[in-house]
Amino acid sequence: MTVSRSKRFVFINTKQKVSKKQVFIFGSIIASGCLSGAFLIALYIEYLHNPIVHSFVQSRGVFL
């Protein structure tokens, strides 16, 4: 940030520009993480409320 003679602020962007490809890749990673988290939450809720799923999972030796 520099100050000119007219005492107005001039902002200079020193950050590197991010390409659209990088934004797409990072967005895809974040979206897939959110979707998998939502899927696991839905699966856990189904496990809590369904005695058939509960007994099936316990018969396999997995306890949540």
Strand partners, 10: 2
Could you list the pLDDT tens digit for every one of the 64 residues in the chain? 454 556 677 777 677 777 888 889 999 999 999 999 999 888 888 777 888 877 777 788 766 5
Model confidence pTM above 0.75 = no
Q: How far apart are CA 56 and CA 47, in angstroms?
A: 10
Residue 33's Cβ-side half-sphere holds a number of Cα atoms within 13 Å equal to: 6
Q: How far apart are CA 48 and CA 29, in angstroms?
A: 29
Q: Structural domain boundaries of the chain?
A: 18-64
